Amino acid sequence: MGLKNSLLQFEEQASKQCTITLVSKNGYRGGAELFVENCKCVKSCDGNFIALSVFGMDIKVVGEPLVLENFGVNGVKISGVIHSLSFDEDGNF
């Protein structure tokens, strides 16, 4: 197995993992920033919820007002007052 194949396998394994980071800004009322790495797509969104698809599950973010600030190669960034996160392995959000 060559180096190229090893790197492709490593990249495939990394894309099957999701990392979620929640950073509070000035306490609860100041809101927060949520970073989700390896997000496949945004399934739906409005000002109060955002549903994301990652490998093997969906993530629902509930809060107000939620702003989808960035969606790029590395993942997605959401800011606002976040009330809850829900995880669904069946993809029913």
DSSP readout, the chain?
Answer: --HHHHHHHHHHHHHT---EEEEESSSGGG-EEEEEETEEEEEEE-SSEEEEEETTEEEEEEEEEEEEEEEETTEEEEEEEEEEEEEETT---
In the chain, what is the greatest distance between 2 CA atoms, to the nearest angstrom? 53
Enter the pTM of the model.
0.76
**pLDDT for 29-71, tens place per residue?**
668 999 999 888 899 999 899 999 988 899 999 998 999 988 8
Question: Any idea which architecture 3-88 has in CATH?
Answer: Sandwich (2.60)
Look at residue 74 and tell me whether its pLDDT is greater than 80: no
Q: Which residue has the higher pLDDT, 74 or 51?
A: 51
Under the banding of pLDDT at 50, 70 and 90, the label for residue 2 is confident
